[in-house]
């Protein structure tokens, strides 16, 4: 059956829609499930808890404040059709496809160019495992060297990539067999929904996001291979190719928030795709407080380079005061004063919020007591920092908050 109102072959999106079940075309109803209520139950009494409890019986509205980080990878294999649909059903207003390229220069959705050994079943398919940059090496008890492998999208053609199935991200560093190596899902995640991880090309993701009525935030992943790749595939061509897919699909630039860790990519888009570049998000992978301070000192220069939106990790935008309250960090205050839009990452990526050494809790762990404080983090990012969006591994939480607080 042809999707209603679609002329197959009329455009890139139309062609892809015709290959997908018509039942999937309508914007899915929003169901946040039990997790938001569970987190509210775990939150200490106070005005925030009272406000959140008042929304338990109210309908949830879709919001771009709720950004799906790789889909819904807390429980679904990341960057799969199933993960993207789960995110949309939880009310995410924007969904991310991290963009990498295959050996034959086709764009696909993967968080890292070389993470296939951790996020797919490639090692269980001998013909494809043989193409990996580095095959499986078992754990060595004599030296303590961990088990390892390295499998990249650039090792495979698109046809080969499409033979893979997504799995939950993780490996077992003490594995002595391939089978054991692939069983590395963190205990606070689940393999319950990992049996059908349908991988997506970039164009397929665009078509799916168009169907279900969400905005799109593709991240141009920094290549691991040396560029130019295979002779003449330059970084600039890679950057242009990603946005050319949106142009070909007829997507309004206002529905696309491109991301990159490379300021040079944004500057290139300012020349090649200015309508998309004005909404570009500059990502910053800050390792510690000193890195955050260096970024604060670079804000004026970034402004001069035409950067409008910054996306540091959430811990870099927060600090805890002597009373254990979460406040805006010096970086957040300076960025806001200079007129930058702020987006941050990544909520619901820290398990039960009880690991003081967790990357996302550094500098604020003394103010965090358990999973209910997820709401305090969100509220501080919203009310103290003024972020316009939060990437989350479980968008039900950010969708519930956004809807309850009228975003």
Domain locations in the chain as residue ranges: 12-100+198-404
Query: Can you give the pLDDT at residue 354?
Result: 86
Encoded tokens for 228? 């130019």
Q: How many CB atoms lie within 10 A of CB 27?
A: 12
Whole-number pLDDT of residue 16: 44
Q: How far is CA 235 from CA 21, 181, 221, in A?
A: 36, 33, 10
Rounded distance, CA 407 to CA 405, Å?
6
The pLDDT, as a whole number, for residue 26 is: 67
How far the first Cα of the chain sits from its last, in Å, is 38
Positive or negative: CA dihedral 305, 248, 27, 78: negative
Q: Please report the DSSP string for 36-76 in residue order.
A: HHHHHHHSPSSHHHHHHHTTTTSPPPPEEEEEESSSSTTTS
Q: Which fold has domain 12-100+198-404?
A: TIM Barrel (3.20.20)
Compute the distance between CA of residue 81 and CA of residue 200 in angstroms, rounded to an integer: 7
- Name the strand (E) or helix (H) holding 318: strand 318-320
pTM of the model: 0.93
pLDDT for position 35: 98
Q: Please give the structure tokens belonging to residue 144.
A: 């303590």
Half-sphere exposure of 119 toward its Cβ, with a 13 Å CA cutoff? 23
Helix (H, G, I), strand (E, B) or coil at 184: coil
pLDDT of residue 327: 98
Instruction: Report CA-CA distances (Å) from 371 to 12, 19, 42, 271, 347.
Output: 43, 41, 7, 44, 11
- The residues pairing with 219 across neighbouring beta strands, listed in sequence order, are 98, 259
Low-confidence stretches of the chain (pLDDT < 70) are 1-26
């Amino acid at each position: 059956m042809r999707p209603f109102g679609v002329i197959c072959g009329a455009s890139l999106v139309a062609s892809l829609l015709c290959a997908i079940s018509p039942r999937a075309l309508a914007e899915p109803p929003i169901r946040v499930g039990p997790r938001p209520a569970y987190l509210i139950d775990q939150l200490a009494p106070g005005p925030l808890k009272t406000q959140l409890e008042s929304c338990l019986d109210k309908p949830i509205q879709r919001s771009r404040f709720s950004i799906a980080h790789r889909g819904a990878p807390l429980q679904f294999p990341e960057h799969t059709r199933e993960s993207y649909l789960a995110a949309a059903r939880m009310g995410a207003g924007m969904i991310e496809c991290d963009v990498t390229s295959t050996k034959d220069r086709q764009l696909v959705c993967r968080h890292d160019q070389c993470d296939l050994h951790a996020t797919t079943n490639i090692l269980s398919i001998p013909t494809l495992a043989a193409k990996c940059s580095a095959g499986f090496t078992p754990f060595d008890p004599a030296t303590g060297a961990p088990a390892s492998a390295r499998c990249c999208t650039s090792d495979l053609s698109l046809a080969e990539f499409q033979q893979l199935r997504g799995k939950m991200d993780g490996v077992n560093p003490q594995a002595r067999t391939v089978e054991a190596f692939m069983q590395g899902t963190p205990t606070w995640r689940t393999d319950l929904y990992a049996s059908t991880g349908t991988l997506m090309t970039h164009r397929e993701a665009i078509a799916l996001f168009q169907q279900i009525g969400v905005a799109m935030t593709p991240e141009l992943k920094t290549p691991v291979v040396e560029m130019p790749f295979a002779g003449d595939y330059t970084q600039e061509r890679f950057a242009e190719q990603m946005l050319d897919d949106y142009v070909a699909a007829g997507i309004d630039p206002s529905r696309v928030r491109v991301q990159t860790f490379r300021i040079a990519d944004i500057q290139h888009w300012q020349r090649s795709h200015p309508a998309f570049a004005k909404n570009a998000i500059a990502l910053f992978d800050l390792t510690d407080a000193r890195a955050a301070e260096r970024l604060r000192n670079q804000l004026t220069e970034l402004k001069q380079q035409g950067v409008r939106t910054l996306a540091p990790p959430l811990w870099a935008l927060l600090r805890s005061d002597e009373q254990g309250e979460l406040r805006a960090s010096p970086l957040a205050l300076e960025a806001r004063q200079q007129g930058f839009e702020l987006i941050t990452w990544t909520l619901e990526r820290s398990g039960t919020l009880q690991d003081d050494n967790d990357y996302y809790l550094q500098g604020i762990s003394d103010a965090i007591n358990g999973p209910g404080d997820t709401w305090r983090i969100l509220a501080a990012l919203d009310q103290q920092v003024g972020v316009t969006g939060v990437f989350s591994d479980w968008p039900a939480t950010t969708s519930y908050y956004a809807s309850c607080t009228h975003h």
